[in-house]
Structure 1
Amino acid sequence: MVFQWIGIATITYLVIKLVYYLAQGAYLYFFRTYPDFNKYGKWSVITGATDGIGKETAFQLASRGQNIALISRNTERLKNVAKAIESNHNVQTKCLTMDFSGDEEIYDKIADFLQGLDIGTLINNVGTDQEIGRFLEQSNLSLIIRNLVRVNIMPVLKMTQIVLPGMVKRKRGLILNLSAFTILHPIGKYAIMNATKSFVDLFSRALSYEYESEGITIQSCLPGAVGTKAAQHVGDIEKMTSPKEYCTSWLATVDKTRRTHGHWQHAVESWVWVKIPTGLVQKLANYFYFEPGVKATQDSEKKK
């Protein structure tokens, strides 16, 4: 009888746990309710705003009445995105051309650019992905280290340093930081990239606890592959979640959780991902990503 009751208790616990996770997932990803972004402030600042998730987020926030400050490195694309936003939505835009791989002095220019704005939302979206190989065997290793740290880590720190004081003073604000669900496993030949994205996630969650009492909402987002140009090396982008569908889902998770995958498909993929042994993850990465990537590079060099 004792073992029978232990079995019943165990099954009951597992069923309750499953129901809890399903209910939590449904609440986050299927019952889509959006906060009033204007309650945070009149302006949203978006880095890496000319393509993919950044661009789509800009349009969706503009559709909800937000003025948009766009920061990216391509002047022509910035102007085109800003023009399209103003044509489709009755909001203001501001643009700043900035290469985040530059020295720390660039943040003085960004601070001047944002001076005087009622910034309610900051989206740290800019990032780079350029590492494939064992640490010491990569050509231009020093350049890779510099770029990954400057583009994936420094903008999150420095943009937060610029914007957060005003949010604290006004007792309101929203900061959304883009990481990646690949950080849930250590992946050889991707060590620096994964480490920089892990920083974004841990920093975001820790900062959330520090400033929630000040009325500031801070969220870490861990997406999988979204159908953008940056994901072409992973597979067929037509089969991936589109930026529009992803952002529509992701923005509905704001105010509900400190950490999200943004879309139910990405949540399921991440659940499977963490269940796979790390050794097998490395083999899969080698087969589907690293070896094809290296071969494509070698083929390209031969053609030259």
Structure 2
Amino acid sequence: MRTYPDFNKYGKWSVITGATDGIGKETAFQLASRGQNIALISRNTERLKNVAKEIESKHNVQTKCLAIDFSDDEEIYDKIADFLQGLDIGTLVNNVGTDQELVRFLEQSNLSLIIRNLVRLNIMSILKMTQIVLPGMVERKRGLILNLSAFPILHPIGKYAIMNATKSFVNLFSQALSYEYESEGITIQSCRPGAVGTKSSQQFGDLERMTSPKDYCTSWLATVDKARWTHGHWQHAVEAWVWEKIPTGLVQKLAEYFYFEPGEKALQDIEKNK
């Protein structure tokens, strides 16, 4: 039987980036079901309003919304700081991120844009959101920060170089920060999921064969306060354990067969059906 921490011990509000779809959206609902008020940050105003309305009607908690595109310049973080001012923030979920095309580095269709977006969404967002929220947690001597990495960081994978590197940053930064601030009453966890059935995973093939966001988050949130890092779900942990045992050259071939080739076909099918 799964046991969950009392998220209210960290504070009254949870802040979630990338909150209108997939893991972010499901995490928002599950934290709200445990009594947390939810501050949602994502780029689509209409979807934010819809998610907030649904959360309030189902769970009788407060919500706040801010439409922000994390690929914009650093000035967005001044708006975020103002938006969060005065809230008793107990939990920060750094979920926002983006992916790359599954092609070699120089073959990205717009390489400069891909570089900018992956650095801003996968790295800068983690650093700046932590910079905004962590001081209040330290002052209150309590807090929880959950950062979404990915288990493909276990090996360098060709055709995934930028994503590989940025998610490796998330993992190492999270674990190092955990050691720095655990004496202040702050829990920081790196979560390293495999493929979860979200829109961003379409390039890896059939979403039906992947863990659903609901199943994943139900499992993952039960690991909070128990480990500095987690794969979040037993199936992902088993898959990661197998990958760790396999030589990198073979991992590359398996990635091509199980993810890249099915993903390319899935994207082609999506284009045909538009």
TM-score computed with the length of structure 1 as normaliser: 0.86
**What secondary structure sits across from 2:227 in the alignment?**
coil
Sequence identity (%): 88
Equivalences for residues 5-44 of structure 1 within 5 A: 31-44=1-14
Q: How far has the Cα of 1:291 moved from its partner?
A: 4.5
**1:15 maps to which residue?**
none
Please give the per-residue CA displacement for 1:102-153, whole angstroms capped at 9, x wherever unaligned: 0000000000000000000000000101232222233321111101000110
Q: Which residue of 2 aligns with 1:224?
A: 194
Aligned equivalents of 2:205 and 2:269: distance in 1?
18
The reply to whether residue 241 of structure 1 matches residue 211 of structure 2 is yes
Q: Deviations over 1:248-299 (max 9, x none)?
A: 1111101100010001111101001111111011112233433455577789
Aligned pairs for 1:242-261 within 5 A: 242-261=212-231
Matches within 5 A, 1:126-275: 126-275=96-245
Counterpart contact for 1:131–1:193, Cα < 8 Å: no
* 2:247 maps to 1:277: yes
Q: Cα–Cα, structure 1 residues 128 and 116, in superposed 2: closer, same or farther, change >3 Å?
A: same
Aligned residue type for 1:267: A
TM-score normalised per structure 2: 0.95
Relative to structure 1, the CA distance from residue 217 to residue 303 in structure 2 (aligned partners, 3 Å threshold; closer, same or farther) is closer
Which of 12, 15, 18 is 1:45 aligned to?
A: 15
Where do 5+ consecutive residues of structure 2 fail to align? none
Give the Cα separation in 2 of the matches to 1:295 and 1:85.
36
Aligned counterpart, 2:25 = 55
| Structure 2 counterpart of 1:10 | none
Tell me which structure has the larger Cα radius of gyration.
1
- C-alpha separation between the residues in 2 aligned to 1:293 and 1:222? 20
Report the RMSD for the aligned CA atoms in angstroms: 1.9
Report how far residue 238 of structure 1 moved: 1.8
Task: Measure the CA separation in 1 of the matches of 2:107 and 2:205.
Answer: 25
Separation of aligned partners in 1, 2:178 and 2:264:
39
Match of 1:91 among 58, 61, 65: 61
Aligned CA distance change for structure 1 residues 98 and 185 (closer, same or farther; 3 Å): same
Cα distance in structure 2, aligned partners of 1:279 and 1:180: 19
Gaps of 5+ in 1: 1-30
Distance 1:131 1:300 in 2: 15
Give the Cα–Cα distance (whole angstroms) in 2 for the partners of residues 300 and 100 of structure 1. Answer: 26
Q: 1:300 to 1:46 in 2, by over 3 A?
A: closer
SS in 2 for 1:83: helix
C-alpha change, 1:299 and 1:82, in structure 2 (3 Å) is closer
Counterpart code for 1:177:
N
The one-letter amino acid of 1:46's match is I
Matched-pair contact (CA < 8 Å) for 1:156–1:177: yes
Aligned twin of 1:118: 88
Q: Which runs of 4+ in 1 moved over 4 A?
A: 291-304
Partner of 1:20: none
